[in-house]
Amino acid sequence: MDLPSLREEAWMCLQGCAGQLCSFLYLVPPERKMCALTSTRQAVTPGSKPINTDRTRDWVTATEILISLDRLNTFGDEFFKDPKVLRSYFYAISDFSVGGRCKCNGHASDCMTNEEGRLVCACEHNTAGVDCEHCAPFYQDRPWARATADSANQCVRCNCNGLADECVFDAEQYRSTGSGGRCVGCRKNTAGPHCERCRENFFRSLPQQSCQNCKCNAMGSVSLQCDPEGVCMCWPGVSGVKCDICKSGFHSLGPGGCRPCQCDNRGSVGVCSPEDGRCYCKTNVEGQSCNRCKPGSFNLQLENPEGCKKCFCFGHSLACTSSNQYMAIDITSDFLEDPDGWKGVFSGGHEQSLIWKEGEVYLLPYREENGFYKAPGRTTNIHFL
């Protein structure tokens, strides 16, 4: 601060004293009196003139004092330039005392000695520090400021809903919400600037309830965060409150959810096993997906409760396959006699009568050719293997 402006401002502060008692050029005190400069404190007494600017507040916060005696009041004798007369004037300091008090930024009225023997402020207004220069712990809801004659500017307690014992001042939060206290170390699984909500992956239905772990299944859930009722969001094919079981028709819960069953509806019963995807096959069906007939059976069909038909090779073979040249049709015959006119036909087109004997029917071989049974005329062109 430049000296002229400092003198001008300090001189304005001295107007509170009774009369003009001080000068920065020389002292001509009419009587012994003191003039004090008063910095802002908690209570300003009537008639006092507090120093309310940073410039004068810094000026009275002195750590060293320099006294400069650089001009005598010679009452005009210097114009005569008489050495003897000028040597009769002297500088003299008869009494000098410096008093002071703690600088407490307006947040204390008294000082006290700390454990180190140093004078410190007895801070009020929820402030702390040697000079009450910052807010006390857990009183960080608004920024610290010096007290003034108009406002104590006391620090405000943080609102942590009783769930934290520490907070810090967050300037950005203060600008956006008007509350700058951000709680640190929220307890009981809470989070947020005021410990007002559950921390990540926890939930509660009502504010007065305790926060509970969502416990969403990591493989079956889209997110480990559940809704306020504790219900997790599942991947397709997954169900359950915690997304921990496969839906019907799905199996093998893993990363990304469950896989769809691969069972062939023609040969399977119900849905696959939700654990490993194994299909439950009909009686005459086999395979991982129940998609093929067991040996000795053929013609896998959805409508067949056994899945496939047993082969009918009259005891000559256990193996057979389906043929796309034939279709299934029901023909009733007891084969005890031949009232309908069944015939035997060989591959070369030669027909021969069947031999009926003791409830069995025979087609005798003809030139080593394969033979077939030919149905009666009412079912002409329907052949059976």
Residues 199-210: pLDDT tens digits?
999 999 998 899
pLDDT value at 59 more than 60: no
Asked if 223 and 214 count as a contact pair (C-beta separation under 8 A), the reply is: no
User: Which stretch of 38-42, 149-153, 184-188 has the lowest confidence by average pLDDT?
Assistant: 38-42
Which segments of the chain belong to CATH 2.170.300.10? 261-322
Model confidence at 215, pLDDT cuts 50, 70, 90, reads very high
Nearest to 6 by CA among 75, 59, 72, 70: 59
Residue 210: CB atoms within 10 Å: 10
What percentage of the chain reaches a pLDDT higher than 70?
73
For 6-20, 173-187, 291-305, which range has the lowest pLDDT when averaged over its residues? 6-20
Q: Inform me whether the pLDDT recorded for 311 exceeds 60.
A: yes
Judge whether residue 51 has pLDDT over 90.
no
Q: Which residue would you say has higher pLDDT here, 285 or 385?
A: 285
pLDDT mean over 326-350: 68
pLDDT value, residue 58: 60
Residue 337 scores a pLDDT above 60: yes
> Of 85-99, 130-144, 358-372, which range is least confident?
358-372
Q: What integer is the mean pLDDT of 24-48?
A: 43
Where is pLDDT greater, at 46 or 129? 129
Question: Is the pLDDT assigned to residue 173 strictly greater than 80?
Answer: yes
pLDDT at 127 exceeding the cut of 60: yes
Q: What is the pLDDT of residues 68-87, one digit of tens each?
A: 777 777 777 777 777 777 77
pLDDT above 90 (res 48): no
Q: Which runs of E-coded beta strand occur in 59-205?
A: 111-113, 119-121, 127-128, 134-135, 166-169, 181-184, 190-191, 197-198, 202-203
Q: Is pLDDT of 22 > 50? A: no
Percentage of the chain lying above the pLDDT 90 cut: 43
Place of tokens 């997110």: 223
Of the two residues 245 and 78, the one the predictor is more confident about is 245
Which pTM was predicted?
0.55
Q: Assign domain 261-322 to a CATH class.
A: mainly beta
Determine the Cα angle at 90 with ends 85 and 94, to 5°.
150
Per-residue confidence (pLDDT) for residue 279, from 0 to 100: 94
The owner of tokens 């990540």 is 200
pLDDT recorded at residue 34: 46
Lowest mean pLDDT among 31-40, 221-230, 234-243: 31-40
Specify whether the CB–CB gap between 201 and 214 falls below 8 A.
Answer: yes
User: Which pLDDT score, from 0 to 100, does residue 382 have?
Assistant: 45
What mean pLDDT is reported for the chain? 78
pLDDT of residue 81: 79
Alpha-carbon distance of 35 to 185, in angstroms, equals 52
Tokens coding 376: 């009666």
What span, in angstroms and rounded, lies between the C-alpha atoms of 311 and 297? 5
Q: What is the pLDDT of residue 74?
A: 73
pLDDT at 26 over 50: no
